């Protein structure tokens, strides 16, 4: 008996460092934020207000807008990033001297800080003196000189496009890994049966990269639901509240003048639950699919 | 052959697309090398006359070497430690299984979902209470707690692909558990470690919020935080900002170039069985 | 293999360095600021202003505007080191996060020794902190008599002085003189002349007003000036009344003030795509003559002039007054430094503050800020500032303390993003006013 207990403890020790740090620096603060969400804490003093923050939230149409925007970002970015990432992976799944370099180029934007790139893009998309509109002017296309970030309709799309631009390399790399795991024999079998390119993709490739697909979809969705840096740097959630995501909204509520941290924490807890539900939903569907493949 | 001409077209297209893809980054380089007035009039073309003045300004204002040291220190500490603790935990979870360890696994993964805003303020108060404010120990601990979910996810998947026979052989030879892990298992995790290390390095190196919150004194500031010295409330000094961005990113580019090979191998086995 | 050696070595080295070097709070070692800074236990000298104290002291100073005031701040730090053997450890936090940082730090009893503040007017977080005894009473600091009483009044609560506002900026029109000259225009003195001027400039193909509305705060300036003109002129205390519920936001005069900016937007008096341009771009447009006027505070002068050092930039009050009426100019007070009451070096900090407030240092600060100094001993020779002063002297009423506008917490963010939102078509001025009253009502019930 003692021997087994010792062994069990030894195994547990492997997990202890990670568990300790995770508990102290992550779980404990997260839990206490649950407490703060029931107060009207503004950083200096607080009163217990029960569920008031949560009720206010559901009546606040700015927060509803932020949730809608966040869904837009999550869906838009996940779809575009995965389609383009997969496309690039398929095109670059080959040998050859240039291939490494090509893959590097597509990955490179991910090496930069999203906040920094957001500022740079904000500068380039400036409607009056920015590089993009200047270039369009030089090409004699003044009708295309739009207010890329200042016009609410375009602003949201620019955030989607720029995030995809930055991270499609990441998605591509994960798909490449998946593609390289497909044994060549399966392709040859398909060729013998006379399958065309498209058919090969549908029946051999796509099913076998199901794990990559799962991971990518999950990671991009979760990341997008928390989207902050790019929006913060490019539009600050503006103009007005047009491009706010829930994460930037929490920031504005909590860190703007007259910071309402109690309220902000309540919103972040709701965001957490939102992401949790969506993730569980996604995982269930995607795992089912993987099993079937 | 019919195929090769088609191939050349595709190759050319890929290269053109790749260059277009990185053009904004190239633009950063061009802008950093132009004089302020040239930048104002010709923001999108290559510099007509190259000047290094903005790099000088940036180096000075950023206390570059000090900040570089701080950033390297912070990144090395965080990345080094995370690979150790995440691989150890991943090893235990992958090998033991059962409701306890699988439950722990999900518990750790939940961290991926939590938005940072939720923990930020209570975490700040905690760090102060523990007298860890403005210390590298404090910031590193925060990073470790944030990086655990993803790194653990990776390692767990990877370990599952490592054949148990080698460990069993080591045990028969009389090696204890720690020995087995350190000399047999860990070396086999190389591709995963490389990937985890590089991806985490990018995150820590580029991060702005943690050092701002937890390492506020000027002597300890990291590179990205120093960037804010150029962003005043009323006036953005763009030219040195571009130079500063390049000064901040090039070490990571170098790291990426070296790590490229390992990364795909690492992701292949690691992420697949997650 | 090499990779592993590298990683292990780095790990070992860094762990050693980290464990030995990095666990004291006041570790100050920066390449450009502190040199030989060592922190010593609090042996602060008693309040004589004569010789250098023997023991070096390190004081932490929080601020947000290092970038805007680099020259004077660097000089100040150097002088303090030389005169008092005090090392200033600067903690510069970007504006957006400033309020939160200060609150978080004070909540955790980790506030800096000296803190840069906007003012302690009611409604600001600084006021609440002051009321909780977070800041020291600086009434006994030397040199205060050199300052205008208004700079001290707004920062006094219950007879205790917490900071001194070191300058005030006027809100009005910064304009490119060449554009006006080319259009044959003289400085307008009432709303009719102003509107005519805008039409003439527009006809010449130049944007009359540069709007930097990507920055939400920039969308507040014109409404503030309108509120000053339409509301504060007749009732000097209207702001206080709005803050404590005696007056309501949702009534015609206020909405008329709000409509000035949105009407001008509809009539096309701003440049195209004004929601995509931030204040820097707007300033540059005026500096380079692409736009004629920037309606902002005088602090923005530097940004405008920098765009084209040869341009002639002038100032006049925004004449929203009807012909025959007098113009009202609102001013904003730039903040000052306050001392953390729980600092271990309050006495030393007070001496440093005294030096900060001295004419010698303030001359440098004003050179960076381009505001109107509140220190009567500081003389500034600057033709832009003389135009500003002329405008102020010629005005009918100078409404002060813009930062005191928002008496209720939350009103700040509400209007800050709100007016920008109106320009974006996301809401209306009427709705904003309605919601403002609700916010005030909520705040008041809380206070009971």
CA distance B103 to C17: 37
Joined tokens for residue C39: 């922190």
C3 located within any domain: no
Q: Which residue of C has its CA nearest to A129?
A: C281
Pair C131, C276 in one domain? no
pLDDT in tens, C91-106: 887 777 788 778 878 8
Pair C407, C359 in one domain? no
Q: Which domain holds residue C58?
A: 45-166+335-373
Give chain A positions within 8 Å (CB) of C412: 256-258
| Number of structural domains in chain A | 1
Joined tokens for residue C224: 């503030």
Distance from CA of C394 to the nearest CA of A (A): 34
Query: Token match 């309040």: residue?
Result: C47
A112 with B224: Cβ contact below 8 A: no
Give me the count of residues in chain B: 274
CA distance C264 to C333: 27
**Which residue ranges form the domains of chain B, and what is each CATH number?**
1-51 (no CATH), 63-272 (1.10.3720.10)
Give me the count of residues in chain A: 293
C343 located within any domain: yes
Backbone angles phi, psi at C59, to 5 degrees: -120, 135
Helix A152-180 and helix A210-225, axial crossing angle in degrees, nearest 10: 150
The pLDDT assigned to B1 comes to 46
Query: C399 - beta bridge partners?
Result: C330
The pLDDT assigned to B172 comes to 80
Q: Which domain holds residue A212?
A: 49-292
Name the pLDDT band for C307 (thresholds 50, 70, 90): confident
CA distance C391 to C399: 13
Among the residue ranges A45-54, A147-156, C42-51, C288-297, the one predicted with the least confidence is C42-51
Pair C355, C400 in one domain? no
Helix or strand run (H / E) with residue C295: strand C291-297
Compute the count of residue pairs across chains A and B with CB atoms less than 8 Å apart: 215
A64 located within any domain: yes
Q: What angle do CA C128, C133, C136 make, to 5 degrees?
A: 115
Over pLDDT 70: what percentage of chain A? 94
A55 located within any domain: yes
Joined tokens for residue C283: 């300033």
**3-state secondary structure at position A9:** helix
A43 located within any domain: no
Distance from CA of A153 to the nearest CA of B (A): 23
How does strand C207-209 pair with strand C291-297? parallel
pLDDT in tens, B124-165: 888 888 888 888 999 999 999 999 999 998 888 888 878 888
Assess contact for C197 and C188: CB atoms under 8 A.
yes
Assess contact for C230 and C253: CB atoms under 8 A.
yes
User: Residue A226 pLDDT > 50, yes or no?
Assistant: yes
CA distance C437 to C448: 17
Pair C152, C224 in one domain? no
The arithmetic mean of pLDDT across residues B243-248, rounded, is 90
Give chain B positions within 8 Å (CB) of C300: 234
Joined tokens for residue A36: 């703060």
CATH number of the domain encompassing residue C434: 3.40.190.10
User: Residue C79 pLDDT > 90, yes or no?
Assistant: yes
Of residues C23 and B20, more confidence is placed in: B20
CA distance C120 to C118: 7
A211 with B271: Cβ contact below 8 A: yes
CA distance C137 to A87: 66
Query: Token match 């007098």: residue?
Result: C326
CA distance A226 to A222: 7
Closest partner CB to B76 (pick from C14, C31, C283): C14
User: Residue A59 pLDDT > 50, yes or no?
Assistant: yes
Pair C127, C251 in one domain? no
Sequence-ordered list of residues with C-beta below 8 angstroms from that of C409, at least 6 positions apart, any chain: A42, A258, C123, C125, C443
B212 with C29: Cβ contact below 8 A: no
CATH number of the domain encompassing residue A233: 1.10.3720.10
Q: Which residue of A has its CA nearest to B208?
A: A115
Q: What is the DSSP string of B241-252?
A: HHHHHHHHHHHH
A93 located within any domain: yes
Which candidate in A240, A249, A250 is best for mutational testing of the C interface (most C CBs within 10 A)?
Answer: A240
CA distance B90 to C222: 59
User: Residue A84 pLDDT > 60, yes or no?
Assistant: yes
Joined tokens for residue A14: 């492997």
Pair C70, C173 in one domain? no
| Number of structural domains in chain C | 2
Name the pLDDT band for C192 (thresholds 50, 70, 90): very high
Backbone angles phi, psi at C176, to 5 degrees: -85, 115
Closest partner CB to A29 (pick from B108, B122, B148): B122
The pLDDT assigned to C194 comes to 95
pLDDT in tens, A104-144: 889 899 989 888 898 889 888 888 778 888 888 888 888 88
Assess contact for C89 and C33: CB atoms under 8 A.
yes
C28 located within any domain: no
Subunits with 3+ C-beta pairs closer than 8 A to C? A, B
Assess contact for A244 and A67: CB atoms under 8 A.
no
Q: Is the ipTM of this complex over 0.90?
A: no
C32 located within any domain: no
Instruction: Tell which residue, C275, C272, C67, has the closest CA to residue A237.
Output: C275
Give chain A positions within 8 Å (CB) of C402: none
Pair C149, C52 in one domain? yes
C25 located within any domain: no
A272 with B18: Cβ contact below 8 A: no
Distance from CA of A135 to the nearest CA of B (A): 7
Pair C243, C350 in one domain? no
CA distance C309 to C302: 10
Pair C148, C249 in one domain? no
Assess contact for C432 and C417: CB atoms under 8 A.
no
The pLDDT assigned to A192 comes to 65
Query: Token match 């052959």: residue?
Result: B1
A9 located within any domain: no
Pair C245, C351 in one domain? no
Assess contact for A161 and A77: CB atoms under 8 A.
no
Query: C90 - beta bridge partners?
Result: C61
A226 located within any domain: yes
Assess contact for B54 and B240: CB atoms under 8 A.
yes
* Eight-class DSSP state of C41: -
Pair C369, C395 in one domain? no
Domain boundary among C352, C373, C394: C373
Assess contact for A221 and A281: CB atoms under 8 A.
no
36-65 of B, contacting A, C-beta below 8 A: 40, 42-44
Q: Which residue of A has its CA nearest to C118?
A: A257
C67 with B235: Cβ contact below 8 A: yes
Query: Token match 């009546």: residue?
Result: A59
A41 located within any domain: no
Sequence-ordered list of residues with C-beta below 8 angstroms from that of A178, at least 6 positions apart, any chain: A89, A208, A209, A211, A212, A213, B268, B272
A158 located within any domain: yes
The pLDDT assigned to A46 comes to 79
Subunits with 3+ C-beta pairs closer than 8 A to A? B, C
Pair C242, C350 in one domain? no
Helix B190-206 and helix B136-160, axial crossing angle in degrees, nearest 10: 150
39-98 of B, contacting C, C-beta below 8 A: 40, 60-61, 63, 65-66, 73, 76-77, 80-81, 83
Q: Which residue of B has its CA nearest to A171?
A: B267
Name the pLDDT band for C313 (thresholds 50, 70, 90): very high
User: Residue A268 pLDDT > 60, yes or no?
Assistant: yes
pLDDT in tens, C6-60: 343 344 343 333 333 333 323 333 333 333 333 333 333 344 444 555 578 889 9
Is the backbone peptide bond immediately before B238 cis, with ω within 30 degrees of 0?
A: no
B134 in C contact zone (CB under 8 Å):
yes
Report for A159-163, A289-293, C52-56: range of highest mean pLDDT? A159-163
């Amino acid at each position: 008996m003692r021997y087994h207990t010792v062994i069990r403890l030894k195994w547990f020790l492997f997990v202890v460092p990670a568990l300790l740090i995770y508990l102290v620096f992550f779980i404990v603060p997260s839990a206490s934020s649950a407490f703060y969400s029931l107060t009207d804490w503004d950083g200096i003093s607080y009163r217990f207000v029960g569920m008031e923050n949560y009720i206010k939230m559901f009546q606040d149409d700015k927060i509803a807008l932020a949730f809608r925007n966040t869904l837009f970002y999550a869906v838009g970015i996940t779809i575009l990033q995965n389609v383009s990432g997969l496309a690039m992976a398929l095109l670059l799944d080959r040998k050859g001297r240039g291939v490494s370099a090509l893959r590097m180029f597509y990955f490179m934007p991910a090496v930069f800080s999203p906040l920094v790139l957001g500022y740079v893009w904000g500068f380039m998309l400036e409607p009056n003196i920015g590089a993009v509109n200047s270039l369009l002017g030089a090409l004699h296309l003044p009708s295309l000189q739009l207010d890329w970030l200042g016009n609410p309709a375009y602003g949201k799309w620019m955030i989607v496009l720029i995030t995809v631009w930055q991270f499609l390399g990441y998605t591509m790399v994960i798909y490449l890994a998946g593609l390289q795991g497909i044994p060549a024999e399966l392709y040859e079998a398909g060729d013998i049966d006379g399958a065309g390119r498209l058919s090969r993709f549908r029946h051999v490739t796509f099913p076998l990269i199901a794990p990559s697909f799962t991971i990518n979809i999950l990671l991009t969705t979760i990341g997008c639901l928390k989207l902050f840096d790019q929006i913060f740097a490019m539009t600050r959630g503006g103009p007005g509240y047009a491009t706010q995501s829930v994460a930037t909204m929490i920031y504005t509520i909590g860190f703007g003048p007259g910071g309402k941290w109690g309220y902000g924490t309540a919103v972040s807890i709701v965001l957490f639950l939102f992401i949790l539900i969506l993730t569980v939903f996604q995982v269930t569907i995607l795992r089912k699919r993987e099993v079937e493949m | 052959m019919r195929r090769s001409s088609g191939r050349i077209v595709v190759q050319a297209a890929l290269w053109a697309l790749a260059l277009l893809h990185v053009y904004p980054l190239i633009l950063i380089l061009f802008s950093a090398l132009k004089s302020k007035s040239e930048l104002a009039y010709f923001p999108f073309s290559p510099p007509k006359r190259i000047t290094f003045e903005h790099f000088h300004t940036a180096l000075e204002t950023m206390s570059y070497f000090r900040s570089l040291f701080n950033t390297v220190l912070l990144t090395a500490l965080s990345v080094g430690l995370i690979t150790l603790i995440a691989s150890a935990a991943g090893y235990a979870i992958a090998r033991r299984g059962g409701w306890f360890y699988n439950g722990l696994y999900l518990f750790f993964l939940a961290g991926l979902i939590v938005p940072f805003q939720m923990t930020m303020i209570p975490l700040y108060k905690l760090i102060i209470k523990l007298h860890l404010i403005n210390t590298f120990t404090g910031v590193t601990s925060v990073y470790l707690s944030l990086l655990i979910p993803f790194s653990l996810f990776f390692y767990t998947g990877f370990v599952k692909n490592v054949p148990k026979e080698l460990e069993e052989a080591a045990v028969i030879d009389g090696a204890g558990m720690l020995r087995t892990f350190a000399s047999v298992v860990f070396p086999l995790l190389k591709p995963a470690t490389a990937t985890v290390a590089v991806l985490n390095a990018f995150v820590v190196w580029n991060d702005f919020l943690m050092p701002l919150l937890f390492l506020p004194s000027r002597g300890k500031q990291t590179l990205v935080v120093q960037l804010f010295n150029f962003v005043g409330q009323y006036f953005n000094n763009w030219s040195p900002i571009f130079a500063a961005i390049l000064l901040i990113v090039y070490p990571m580019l170098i790291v990426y170039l070296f790590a490229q090979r390992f990364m795909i191998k690492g992701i292949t086995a690691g992420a697949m069985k997650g | 293999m090499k990779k592993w050696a590298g990683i292990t070595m780095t790990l070992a080295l860094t762990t050693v360095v980290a464990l030995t070097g990095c666990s004291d709070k006041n570790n100050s070692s920066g390449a450009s600021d502190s040199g030989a800074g060592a922190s010593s236990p609090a042996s602060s000298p008693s309040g004589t202003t004569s010789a250098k104290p023997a023991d070096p002291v390190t004081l932490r100073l929080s601020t947000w505007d290092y970038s805007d005031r680099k020259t004077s701040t660097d000089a100040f730090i150097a002088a303090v080191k030389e005169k008092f053997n005090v090392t200033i450890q600067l903690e510069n936090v970007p504006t957006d996060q400033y309020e939160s940082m200060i609150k978080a730090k004070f909540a955790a009893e980790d506030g800096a020794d000296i803190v840069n503040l906007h003012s302690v007017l009611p409604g600001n977080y600084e006021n609440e902190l002051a009321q909780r005894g977070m800041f020291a009473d600086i009434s006994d600091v030397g040199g205060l008599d050199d300052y205008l009483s208004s700079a001290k009044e707004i920062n006094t609560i219950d007879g205790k002085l917490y900071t001194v506002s070191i300058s005030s900026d006027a809100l009005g029109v910064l304009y490119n003189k060449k554009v006006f000259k080319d259009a044959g225009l003289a400085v307008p003195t009432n709303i009719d002349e102003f509107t005519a001027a805008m039409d003439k400039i527009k006809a010449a193909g130049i944007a009359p007003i540069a709007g930097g509305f990507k920055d939400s705060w920039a969308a507040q300036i014109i409404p503030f000036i309108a509120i000053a003109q339409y509301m504060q002129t007749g009732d000097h205390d209207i702001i206080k009344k709005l803050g404590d519920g005696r007056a309501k936001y949702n009534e015609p005069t206020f909405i008329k003030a709000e409509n000035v900016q949105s009407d001008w937007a509809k009539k096309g008096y701003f440049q195209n795509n004004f929601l995509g341009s931030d204040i820097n771009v707007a300033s540059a447009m005026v500096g380079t003559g692409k736009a004629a006027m920037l309606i902002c505070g005088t602090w923005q002068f530097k940004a405008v002039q920098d765009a084209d050092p040869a341009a002639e930039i002038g100032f006049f009050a925004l004449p929203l007054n009807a012909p025959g009426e007098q113009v009202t100019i609102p001013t904003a007070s730039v903040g000052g430094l306050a001392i953390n009451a729980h600092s271990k070096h309050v006495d030393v900090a007070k001496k440093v503050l005294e030096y900060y407030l001295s004419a010698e240092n303030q001359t440098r600060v004003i050179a960076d800020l381009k505001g109107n100094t509140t220190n009567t001993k500081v003389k500034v020779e600057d033709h832009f500032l003389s135009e500003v002063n002329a405008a102020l002297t010629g005005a009918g009423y100078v409404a002060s303390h813009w930062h005191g506008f928002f008496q209720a917490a939350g009103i700040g963010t509400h209007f800050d993003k709100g007016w920008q939102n109106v320009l974006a078509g996301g809401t209306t001025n009427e709705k904003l006013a309605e919601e403002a009253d609700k916010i005030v009502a909520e705040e008041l019930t809380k206070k009971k």
